Structure 1
């Protein structure tokens, strides 16, 4: 059987977490990045979609790959989860409006 791995990333309220597991479910690498939340006015809380969500996903993935030495081609699946419910309005090019 070919060696393969699964990557999971959770973008949470105050941190993003990632884990790489082999096909037996053994954790081979993980990383956590804390982040803040902005409060632009009372009762309104936001994350910067590019600066937090995308940045954290990319940095977690790069860190885990470097830490483990796993070839990205060996990653057979990626799963993400995030805070919810949330809304991310985008423009016609798919860029976040906030």
Structure 2
């Protein structure tokens, strides 16, 4: 009997990607630079950039520090990210920086 192939990997966005997208959106809304927010959060601009791009899996303490530097609460951040996770759906096989592209669910 032939083995059943594994189903295709999930194309859901990763939590770290959505958190990074939301942190970047909030930073840009405020007109702040990576350096300004990183300094307030006590991390390097390079590390903040990697968080924003979804390349790093930051600790909860790190997320709290960046959120605080942006003047937002963890509740506000996680609520927004959870809402995005519910409303996003994968779209085709479009890739941007090696990541799956997403669009709002209809």
Q: TM-score, normalised by structure 1?
A: 0.30
Q: Which has the higher contact order (CA 8 A, sep 6+)?
A: 1
Q: TM-score, normalised by structure 2?
A: 0.28
